[in-house]
Structure 1
Amino acid sequence: MTKHQKRLAVPKSWPVERKEEAYTTKAGAGPHGEEGVPLLIVLRDVLGYVDSKKEARYALDQDSILINGKAVSDERRPVGMFDILAFVEREEFYRVFPDEGGRLSLTPIDEDAAGSKLGKIAGKTQVAGGDTQLTLHDGQTLLVDEDADYNTNDSIVVSNDDDEIVAHFTYEEGALVTAVRGAHAGRIGTIDQIQVTPGSGSNNVQIDANDGEDFETVEEYVVVIDENFTGGDDE
């Protein structure tokens, strides 16, 4: 199977120029599905820390490049929304965050903020033994007590050290959210109204935008955040 991807066919979230060359690196198996960007693209095309796949592999062999607190050895490892990138030797830390237009970009954060990552709850199921399993947007699963008050579309902050939940943001009217896909990707605002659609259709969300231009999008495209996730290094 080829390890190359036609640039014109990559997801809109990938931070690559589609017309510069015919091909780019294909993401390997891992989190985020087809939206995941190969780490090589981040190191080479976004940050400019390496010039080639060979240099990327050498850098990764030093165990000083971490994603969500874990050293990475595969340059094709997918990087996606809300992942935490740490460059230990450089003392640089970034959160992957969608910018306007939906492209994934890197937001500098401080070392303390790099100790945990945000996740949107995409699924909630009961498992044997009485626990509840939460599935996050990137495929990570967590077990919580059966009576824990977590619901689909809520967001949680998970410690990279021990997978403990350290914060919980409820999906509700008045919550601060960011749009991560669609025409309004990258915009931030407060939920004014959740319009429930009968049947199997998507619910619509009306958002009072921070930029003053209110907008409406579908529920699947919004993620609950708090002010610490909008950028900057003041966490």
Structure 2
Amino acid sequence: MSTQEKDLFLTVLKNLKVPDGYSSNISRCVNLKERKLSNLKSHDCHILMQDIFPLALRSSTPKQVFAIVSQLSSFFKALCSKVLDPKELDQLESKIALTLCNMEKIFPPGFFTIMVHLLIHLAAEAKLGGPVHYRWMYPIERFLMRLKDYVRNRAYPEGSIAEGYIAEECLTFCSRYLEGVETVFNRPQRNCDIIENADVYKFSSGGRVLEKVESVVLDQKSLAQVSTVN
């Protein structure tokens, strides 16, 4: 990629906004000055490969490269779906072989490591193991990060993890019997979209504002249009 293509690609990622819980804030991992992506988590790489690359690379890569990236993205998207069809897996297994052959025409031999070759076997593994989301490591990695936060004495990390885990379990058990205190059981959600006095509003859609609040007074024509739509 040329310098302009890198700037265009990284600018798209820098301005990217995704729903809460969809991924981490990928824009924080973008360094426009050095033209680098850093500190990406494994789930962020999964989201980039599956959903974002086909959009972000549309105007910054040649058509042949973009076609291969789109094929890889559709392959991972179909492979990681909630429901898998054995017939569709057979098609994926044949298509990914053609995709790798097309990649060999563009990328140098050093690009094809054992991880790239692993794509050939993913569809066959899905036939044996079932849907991928029951077997991937993202929940385990999140839990290991939680255990890592328990470490206070780096000389004895195992003991710190054990003490921290036991302390949290004890506090969680005791919090079931506390009243008038905020606990993990009565704590409000991070994105609490409960609307007070919902009967006052014209529409019943929930939500809360994220930026400046502006009031708009509708004239009779606009009000009639809104009433017709509702």
TM-score class, shorter-chain normalisation, is under 0.3
Higher relative contact order (CA closer than 8 Å, sequence separation 6+): 1
- TM-score under structure 1 length normalisation: 0.24
> Where is the strand percentage greater, Structure 1 or Structure 2?
1
